[in-house]
């Protein structure tokens, strides 16, 4: 009887832990990227920005699933609010990545401002963050909506 109670307790605890670790199916996100964060997308409003130009675009079901898989593997809540995935590296110009994930229970924003314009990090956590941001960026930049937006005029002072 005692073993049965212990086993039942373990099953309940494992189920509760697994439920908390699963990334929810209902979520929204926004990503800002590029030099000075000049490009962005918000899945709630559908606003896609490239420099000074903007358009509306809502993700397809396939794109939503791809992004869900990327975000599910990130565990964004473990990241600090202000983050530099590779503080030992610098580039000119630097880039900005701001990733926000919103669910019914929580919202988390990770701001990586003025970081090296490279998607390479010396640590696993930093590399994962960069890969997720690059993956979302890649999905967005391959949409027809993105292709219709003109290239922004870039001016860098070194």
* Confidence label for 25 from pLDDT (cuts 50, 70 and 90): confident
Q: What local confidence, expressed as pLDDT, does residue 79 receive?
A: 98
**Element of type H or E holding 10:** helix 2-21
Question: Hey, is 1 helix, strand or coil?
Answer: coil
Region of residue 102 (left: phi > 0; alpha: psi -120 to 50; beta: else) = beta
Residue 36 — pLDDT band, cuts 50, 70, 90? confident
Measured from the Cβ of residue 118, the count of other Cβ atoms closer than 10 Å reads 14
Return the ∠ at Cα 140 (arms to 52 and 136), rounded to 5°: 115
Stronger pLDDT, 15 or 137, i.e. the higher one? 137
C-alpha to C-alpha distances, 157 to 80, 94, 97, nearest whole angstrom: 30, 11, 20
Strand order in the sheet with 27-33: 53-56, 47-50, 39-42, 27-33, 95-103, 107-115
Phi, psi dihedral angles at 154 (to 5 degrees): -105, 135
Instruction: Render pLDDT for 101-151 as a digit per residue (tens, 0 to 9).
Output: 999 999 999 999 999 999 999 999 999 999 999 999 999 999 999 999 998
Q: Hey, CA dihedral for 31, 34, 36, 40, is it positive or negative?
A: negative
- Average pLDDT value for residue range 16-24: 51
């Amino acid at each position: 009887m005692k073993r049965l109670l212990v086993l039942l307790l373990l099953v309940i605890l494992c189920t509760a832990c697994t439920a908390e670790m699963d990334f929810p199916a209902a979520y929204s996100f926004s990503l800002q990227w590029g030099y000075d964060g000049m490009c962005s997308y918000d899945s709630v409003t559908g606003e896609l920005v490239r420099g000074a130009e903007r358009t509306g675009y809502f993700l397809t079901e396939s794109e939503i699933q791809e992004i869900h898989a990327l975000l599910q593997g990130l565990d964004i809540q473990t990241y600090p609010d202000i983050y530099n995935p590779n503080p030992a590296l610098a580039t000119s110009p630097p880039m900005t990545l701001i990733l926000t994930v919103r669910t019914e229970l929580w919202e988390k924003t990770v701001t990586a401002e003025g970081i090296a314009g490279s998607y390479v990090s010396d640590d696993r956590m930093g590399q994962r963050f960069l890969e997720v941001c690059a993956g979302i960026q890649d999905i967005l930049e391959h949409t027809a909506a993105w292709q219709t937006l003109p290239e922004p005029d870039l001016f860098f002072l070194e």
